[in-house]
Amino acid sequence: MADVSKICAIACDGAGFKLKCTVSEYLKGLGFEIIDCGTDSEESCDYPDYAVKCCREIVEKRAGFGILCCGTGVGMSIAANKVKGIRAACCSDTFSAKATRAHNDANVLCIGERVVGAGLAKELVNAFISTSFEGGRHQRRINKVMEIENY
């Protein structure tokens, strides 16, 4: 069985296509395997369709984490968080990218092509993938968040 921690599912809508390509190449250069869940152009499309494809790879344990790109990162974040087992965070600064892994055990990073340039996107991805969940007092809170899925 493959080490899923080195496998990233990635998806975008048309507004996030260029950023998805940049992030995919960056992760490949770091030795990660990429599961590309689409889309494959800058044409307008429905971001929830691609968010679900990406998140399915994570909840079915074919990928260890995911990255979703759209214009702002917000739409993808909203859609991803509807999938049971997903904790997605839209980040545009490295502190948040680290904190969401350390404190929220986020498994999906959402970034916006219209908000974040290629250089900062790489920094966000690096912060996200290099930070581990701290557990401890944060685990109790994550358990409560995950219980919300049962309402």
Q: Is residue 138 annotated as a catalytic residue, yes or no?
A: no
Which of 37, 70, 90, 110 is flagged as catalytic? 70
Which of 21, 45, 103, 138 is flagged as catalytic? 103
Q: Is residue 70 annotated as a catalytic residue, yes or no?
A: yes
Q: CA nearest 102: which of 140, 63, 130? A: 130
Q: CA nearest 43: which of 10, 65, 18, 22? A: 18
Amino acid of residue 105: D
3-class secondary-structure state, position 70? strand
Rounded (10°) CA dihedral 21, 127, 7, 102: -140
Distance CA 63, CA 147 (A): 23
Amino acid of residue 114: R
The residues assigned a catalytic role are 70, 103
